[in-house]
Copies of this chain bind each other. A is one copy, B any other.
Amino acid sequence: MRVAVLAHERFPERAKTAVGILRYADHDVVAVLDRASAGTTVADHRSDFDAGTPVVEGVADAPAFDALIIGIAPIGGGFDDSWRPDVRAAIERGADVVAGLHYFLNDDEEFARLADDYGVELRDVRRPPDDLTVAEGVARELDCEIVLTVGTDCSTGKMTTTLEMVEAARERGLDAGFVPTGQTGIVIAGAGIPVDRTVSDFTAGAVERMLRERADDHDYLLVEGQGSIVHPAYSAVTCGILHGAMPDRLVLCHEAGREAVHGYESFRLPDLDRIAELYVDLAEGVAPTELLGCALNTAALDEAAAEAALDDCAETLGVPAVDPVRDGAGPLAERL
């Protein structure tokens, strides 16, 4: 699929989705739309990106594409009206539009009418399907190995770790698929269910449904986890994913040095080995699992401190520990 990615005035630092698509998606990115840096290429911004991908002013300057993806998410998830001409032009060129905003394109009268006129699809990935049901408890019977990233907290790198592991697995010739559960991952993957927006009774069922749809296509399914099992607000989603996915193995994601729950600072994080044990015990009540490895976010540390933190973590947990951003997820993929 050829895609154009809208990232006006935010590429690359504040365009997490756009960067994720460039780095991990199977899509052929024909252009990034950013009026603030039009005339450059994406390689001018990140040296590992493809210099063949231009940054352009708007849809009019982009080569042919099948879908326009909104690659930025302002706080609050609103739609910025300055994007309207590009969305309109994309539809008029016969392209689908994909967005992970709280504002649903399908509820926008102009876009809905235009999409109808031009026979294109508006995909609001933050809206869960309305035919979800409770889990049947069959993930363990699927003919593929399931690996789930779990965390000590929110924002510890679960999506990045999962995507890096998929990439590293593919580099090693393994047939690995990515199962997204949050809106950024879904936009990157082009499909998926935002598990944190489903009816609570259907949390595990939503994950199970994605696994059933993808199990025949891959030998390994790597599931993006959410939240943490000891999070005062989000643990329901974490637990539903854990039991809906019935992972054969877990990768524990942690930010080096974080000691309290982000945004809930009065809640201390349990020790790393304690939380790992809790994940394994909780999973085992439904389907046994084991720890494959640990992904440590060491962005705040210098190289020597990062090295020491990784060693410490590996010793505590008795499994390999890597920083997938610093070093890639090779050592984790090798354990598959």
Interface residues of A (CB under 8 A from B): 134-137, 195-205, 229-240, 242-244, 246, 261, 264, 266-267, 270, 275, 278, 281-282, 285-287
* Cβ–Cβ < 8 Å partners of A203 in chain B: 200, 236-237
Q: A195-B200, A230-B286 are in contact. List 20 more A-B contacts (CB 8 A).
A: A135-B232, A137-B261, A137-B266, A137-B267, A197-B199, A197-B201, A198-B200, A199-B199, A200-B236, A204-B232, A204-B235, A231-B243, A232-B243, A233-B244, A235-B243, A236-B237, A236-B243, A238-B239, A267-B286, A282-B282
**Minimal beta-carbon separation of A81 from chain B (angstroms):** 26
The distance in angstroms between the C-alpha atoms of A264 and B278, with both chains bound, is 23
The 4 closest A-B pairs by CB, nearest first: A236-B240, A230-B285, A137-B232, A239-B239
Contact between chains at A205 and B230 (CB < 8 Å): no
Contact between chains at B264 and A204 (CB < 8 Å): no
* Cβ–Cβ < 8 Å partners of A240 in chain B: 200, 235-236, 239
Contact between chains at A278 and B285 (CB < 8 Å): yes
The distance in angstroms between the C-alpha atoms of A170 and B336, with both chains bound, is 57
Candidate in A236, A242, A270, A275 with the most chain B CB atoms within 10 angstroms? A236
Closest B-chain residue to A202, C-beta based? Answer: B200
12 contacts between A and B (CB under 8 A): A137-B261, A137-B266, A137-B267, A196-B200, A197-B200, A200-B200, A201-B233, A204-B234, A232-B286, A235-B240, A236-B237, A236-B239
The distance in angstroms between the C-alpha atoms of A156 and B121, with both chains bound, is 46
Given contacts A232-B204, A235-B204, contact A198 B197 (CB under 8 A): no
Given contacts A197-B201, A203-B236, A240-B236, contact A229 B137 (CB under 8 A): no
Candidate in A195, A200, A286, A287 with the most chain B CB atoms within 10 angstroms? A200
The distance in angstroms between the C-alpha atoms of A48 and B195, with both chains bound, is 47
The distance in angstroms between the C-alpha atoms of A39 and B287, with both chains bound, is 54
**Minimal beta-carbon separation of A203 from chain B (angstroms):** 4
**Minimal beta-carbon separation of A62 from chain B (angstroms):** 35
Closest B-chain residue to A261, C-beta based? Answer: B137
* Cβ–Cβ < 8 Å partners of A266 in chain B: 137
Candidate in A205, A246, A278, A285 with the most chain B CB atoms within 10 angstroms? A285
Closest B-chain residue to A266, C-beta based? Answer: B137
* Cβ–Cβ < 8 Å partners of A278 in chain B: 281-282, 285
Contact between chains at B237 and A201 (CB < 8 Å): yes
